[in-house]
Each structure stands twice: as structure tokens, then as C-alpha cells.
Chain A
């Protein structure tokens, strides 16, 4: 069995990361995050007839809704063609003829793209964070930091899924189709499906079983991770009330997200033989 040469992973990761810096992908996504974060922080309560800076918990709760839509989409778009594009263009053969293993290529791609996502997330939400810090004070920063970190973890979950798609799909068109389907499923359909099951079963369903189902969706884990700390936010989300507090341990939820990063990548490694 061949060992892993981290130098080779670094070379691939460096190229992927630099490519995203050069084509201004990182800049564009960071700007999108900043603008959306500030708009939501300021205008988030407009429906209640007021605008302006509110407390950090409510602000984060609003941002969570944004991140759940936006971040998985961005991560899927970033990674869906990581491998399939090289295969389709014909550059994969040349790459694999180098003294590099398929595992190293895959890890290099993932790491480089993860770096691009990380910088865009930290810079984008960080800029907004600086402004929020002036408005809301330093105590808010702690919660906000946790939110940014979990948003990054969420992006890695969907990047991992995207890289898996890029290995499995036969061509780019199919890969993009699968990526969009995954986004629809996890972000739009999944919660509706769960609610539907609850309603149809008329409460017959064992509620202990429900948290497990929520853990099967990284977007739901992210949501729970960010709203369970805050009493006044929990009531905004009906779905979270079915989630027992004993399971709402940040470490447990964080581990579940790490599982969602490793598992699809593992499938990708297995299929990329």
C-alpha cells in the first residue's frame, strides 16, 4: 500500500486555491457574505415594522436562515466538477501520470477548495463581524465566532458531497444536475418531508427517533448548533422543539458535522480507483 506524500497534496491544493483567488471567486463570495450579513443584521426585523441593529442572538438566527440556503449552494457549485472536469477535458491522465496517487489528488483538490471557502467565509462574515462588534459589543463576538465556524463546517460538508459527486458523475452536466438535486433535497425538501411525516403520523411516531433523522441532514445540524444556545431564539423554530436538549451538545453536533465531511469524501476516495 502506498503512503501519503503531503507535499503532493500541497501542490494540488495550492493550485486549486490560487485558481480561485485569481479568478476572483474568493473575493466575490466574500463580498456576497458581507453584504448579505449586513443587510440581514440591519433589516432583519423589517417585517416587525422596525429596522436597525438588534441583539446578537436574533441577528444570528436570521443569518442562519441565509447561510442554510447560500452556503450549501456555493460549496456545491465550487466542488461539483473538481474531478469530472479534469476527466472530461483529458487533463486527468496527465495529472495521474505524475508521481502522485489518486488519494493525494482528491485530498489536494478538497483541501485547496476548502481553503478558498474558508477564506471567503472568514473574510466575508469577518468584515460584517467587525461592524457588528461596534454596534453590539464584544460579548456578541463570541457567539458570532461560533456561528462563522459552524458556517465553515457546513460549507465543508457540502464541499465533501460535491467532490463525491465530481468523482461519481460521468460528465459535468450530470454532475451539476446531481449537485442541484442534492441542494434541493437537503435545503428545501428534507425538512418539509420530516414535518409531513410528523403530521401524517398524527403524533404516533416515536419522537426519540426524530433527532436521528435531523442528524442525517448537515443543514439541520447547522441550524440546531446555532439556535440551541439561545432560549429566545428556540421558539422561532418549531422543528427544533422536537430536538431533546441532551442531544444539543455542541461537541456531539460538531462531531456529526465532521462525520458529514469525512463520509462523502471517503466514498469519493473509494470510487476514485
Chain B
């Protein structure tokens, strides 16, 4: 296990009538890429803001790099934290470069690094343009560049791909991969589950202010015992062979026509089924195994709680 960079213990956040965060325990290791997912209002952003010291906790404790998230010691920690808020608002009257200069001064980062950061996020050409004239995607890129000021060791990215086009999303994850090579720890939220499932080391699923499930994507899938989906192409005329193999394992659902079958299979039967299909010889031409998507896992976990 890596060093604990973020430690959250028994954290609650109560507003007048609601418990926005309701007893969260969580640790994130140094160098980890950690994903936080959940519906709107699940408490992700509130938890984010408490980790950044923007909101006081109602109960419990949060430590980053061993420091409580307030006071003079945390001011120093903040110099090595980058933050991209969910609802990013920048100053319309400043240009992209001036925006970075402003935040660089506050962060004590080198002003000379700003043009290179704009280049990195693909805004070099728009550096002198006022933010007023930026598109949503460009603002998001500028917000990301701002988060990268001062070579942070820890990044908090709240819905970082909001408003980015597919190309922008790819570039964003490419930069993130580079940062991880350098040992940067990243905590990010996203509502596009498919987008982060390939990229995070671990995930926490939040619901009603609680962490509903926590672990690697693989562990979450297995914890849900969701069936796998298989697509098997077979030699036309050998449908009976396929039916027999499937029937021998008790798999009777699914559909088959014109040489292509699609069915689901309980996870514990996966190896037995693959062995049986391989034993069927040339009747089977190809096998595609699909793990349940994060959306399926996510729905599985949230439905558990629904009465």
C-alpha cells in the first residue's frame, strides 16, 4: 500500500435539514488515480469542498499530507494542490494568459510557466483573447491549466471533462497519464462512468452522502456478481451444437440467429463455458466476452438501496 496522502475519518456535513455527507471514511494513497462517482446530490462536490478546506466538516476529520485542512500549515499544502471546480467561473474581462498570471501570483508559481501550460492544454493561440470570448470547452481547458499551476502533487478535478469535445477528452486523459507518470495523485469525479472506468485505480461510489462501494473497478464488478455478456459467432447450421453446450451449463436465455448468438453467463461459469465452447471445435468461430459496464455496476449498487 502506498503512503496515505488523503485521510478522511468519520466525516459528516449537515445542513439545516439534510446530511449532505453522512459518515465517510476514505484514504487515498500517493500517486493514486481515484474516482468518485455518484448521482447529482450524492455528496461528491461537498466532500471535495471539505477536502479543500472550503467547507468546514460538521464532524470527523480530514487530513491531507498529514495536515488538517485549515490553518497556516494547510496554506503551504495548498500550494501543491490543484483544483478544478465543477461549476468553473473565471474572470471574463481577463485574457487566458492574464487569468493564469493572476492565479500563479496567488499560488506563488512561476509566471514564466504560464505560456507553456496554455500550450499544453491547447490554448496557445487564444492566450491573448479575453475569456469572455472563450467557448465552454476553452474555459474548461483554461481551468485545467490553472489547476496545473505550480506543478501540484495533488489534483482535485470535479467533472473535469465537462464541456470538452471527444478530442478534448482524449487530450485531457493523455495529460493526466503524463502527470501520473510523474507521481501526481489525482482525485476526480465524473458522471460519464464509461469514461473513467478504464482510467482510475480505485473508485468510490457515493449515494446519499455515504460511500456505497469502494475498490478497484474489477472488485466492484465482482462484488455485484453481475453476469457477463457473451457474443459467440458459430458456423451456420451448428446452432444445435451451441444450444447443447449452453444447455449443459444451464444457460438457456439469449438469442441466436444467422450465426451470431448473444447471451449472458454468471461470472462463476465463465471458465467452464469458455472451455466447453473451445471443446466444440470448429462449430464456434469467435467469442467476445463483455464485462458489465460501470453503468451496470453503478445501477446495481444504487438499486440495492431502493426499496
Give every chain A residue within 8 A of B106 (Cβ-Cβ).
8, 11-12, 95, 98-100
Indicate if A3 sits at the interface (CB-CB under 8 A): yes
- Do B88 and A90 touch across chains, with their CB atoms under 8 A apart? yes
Is residue B107 within 8 Å, beta carbon to beta carbon, of the partner chain?
A: yes
Q: Which of B30-38, B73-81, B182-190, B239-247 contacts A (4 or more CB under 8 A)?
A: B73-81
* CB-CB contacts below 8 Å: A64-115 with B: 89-91, 93-101
Contact of B93 among A8, A19, A95 (CB under 8 A): A19
Chain A residues positioned under 8 Å from B143 (CB to CB): 94
Q: How distant is A98 from chain B, measured CB to nearest CB, in Å?
A: 4
- Complex Cα distance, B87 from A8, in Å, reads 24
- Give the nearest-CB partner of A101 in chain B: B75
Decide if A99 touches B76 in the complex (CB within 8 Å).
yes
The answer to whether B83 has its CB under 8 Å from any CB of chain A is yes
Given A11-B102, A11-B106: A97 in contact with B79 (beta carbons within 8 A)? no
Distance A2 CA – B20 CA, assembled complex (angstroms): 28
A271 CB-CB contact with B under 8 Å: no
B72 within 8 Å of A by Cβ? yes
**In whole angstroms, what is the CA distance A23 to B94 when docked?**
11
A12 smallest CB distance to B (angstroms): 8
Please give, as numbers and ranges, the residues of chain B lying within 8 Å of A99 by CB-CB distance: 75-76, 78-79, 106-108
Q: How far is the CA of A63 from the CA of B115 in the complex (A)?
A: 50
A93 to B75, CA, bound (A): 15
* Chain B contacts for A97, CB-based, 8 A: 52, 54, 78, 81, 83, 85
Q: How far is the CB of A272 from chain B (nearest CB, A)?
A: 13
Count contacts on A: residues with CB < 8 A to the other chain.
22
Q: Closest residue to A98 on the B side, CB-wise?
A: B106
In the assembled complex, the Cα of A8 lies from the Cα of B107 at a distance in Å of 9
How long is the Cα–Cα vector from A1 to B72 in the complex, in angstroms? 7
| Cα A11 to Cα B105 with chains together (Å) | 7
Question: Do A94 and B89 touch (CB < 8 A)?
Answer: yes
Nearest neighbor of A14 in chain B, beta-carbon distance: B105
Q: How many inter-chain residue pairs (CB < 8 Å) link A and B? A: 57
A15 within 8 A of B: yes
B88: chain A residues at CB < 8 Å are 90, 94
Residues on B with C-beta less than 8 A from A12 are 106
With contact pairs A8-B106, A98-B78 given, residues A90 and B93 touching in the complex (Cβ less than 8 Å)? no
Complex CA–CA separation, A22 to B88 (angstroms): 24
- With both chains docked as a complex, state the minimum distance between the C-beta of B38 and any C-beta of chain A, in angstroms: 19
Contact B102 A2 (CB under 8 A): no
Contacts of B107 in A (CB 8 A): 98-99
Among residues of B, the one whose C-beta sits closest to the C-beta of A10 is: B105
Tell which of B72, B78, B89 touches A91, judged by Cβ atoms closer than 8 Å.
B89
B140 to chain A, nearest CB (A): 13
CA distance A43 to B89 in the complex (A): 49
The contact string, 1 if C-beta is below 8 Å from chain B, for chain A 1-21, is: 111000010011001000100
Known contacts A23-B93, A98-B78; is-contact A3 B54 (Cβ 8 Å): no
* 3 nearest CB pairs, A to B: A90-B89, A91-B89, A98-B106
Give me 5 other A-B pairs in contact (C-beta within 8 A), A90-B89, A100-B106 excluded.
Answer: A2-B71, A11-B106, A93-B49, A99-B75, A99-B107
A interface, CB within 8 angstroms of B: 1-3, 8, 11-12, 15, 19, 22-23, 89-91, 93-101
A-B residue pairs in contact (CB < 8 Å), sample of 29: A1-B71, A1-B72, A2-B72, A3-B72, A8-B106, A15-B91, A15-B102, A22-B93, A89-B89, A90-B89, A91-B89, A91-B90, A93-B49, A94-B83, A94-B88, A94-B143, A94-B146, A97-B52, A97-B78, A97-B81, A97-B83, A97-B85, A98-B103, A98-B107, A99-B78, A99-B79, A99-B106, A99-B107, A100-B106
